[in-house]
Amino acid sequence: MTAGLLLGVVFLVLGAVAYSGRWKGWMRVRRGFGSTIGFAWLWLGAAFLTAAVGLLVNPYSPAAFAVLIGLAAILLLVAIMGAFWLPRFLLPRWYRAWRGEASTKGGQA
């Protein structure tokens, strides 16, 4: 549990710094595998933290445990997907501009 909490915090902080645009050293390619890996770390950290909290509450509330583990599984799937691709609404504006994607105003590209 302690490792899950520690890894969760580390990945969550790395992902938050990547999303904010303050750390761009992880960016090497504009498209394809690895192009959104920095953002995936945020979701991986959230999955680790959610699972660790779920394990902590398991003795007290099996229902809360089930909900938290289910949520952690969904977050983990987003993190795995994020290693390859993330939908546009999960990408920060600065990253879309760096990649050369047209911005949308009023739902039109």
Q: Choose the most confident range, by mean pLDDT, from 25-34, 70-79, 85-94.
A: 70-79
21-25, 30-34, 53-57, 69-73: range with lowest mean pLDDT: 30-34
Assigned token pair, 77: 């799937």
Average pLDDT over residues 91-103: 78
45 domain residue, yes or no: yes
Q: How many domains does the chain have?
A: 1
98 domain residue, yes or no: no
49 domain residue, yes or no: yes
Assigned token pair, 78: 């987003």
5 domain residue, yes or no: no
Top pLDDT among 65 and 35 is at 65
53 domain residue, yes or no: yes
Residues 48-62 as b/e (b if ≥16 CB within 10 A, e otherwise) read bbbbbbbbeeeeeee
Q: Which pLDDT score, from 0 to 100, does residue 9 have?
A: 95
108 domain residue, yes or no: no
Top pLDDT among 109 and 49 is at 49
pLDDT tier at 31, thresholds 50, 70, 90 = low
57 domain residue, yes or no: yes
84 domain residue, yes or no: yes
What whole-number percentage of the chain has pLDDT above 70? 83
For residue 68, give its domain range: 15-22+31-93
DSSP label at residue 108: B
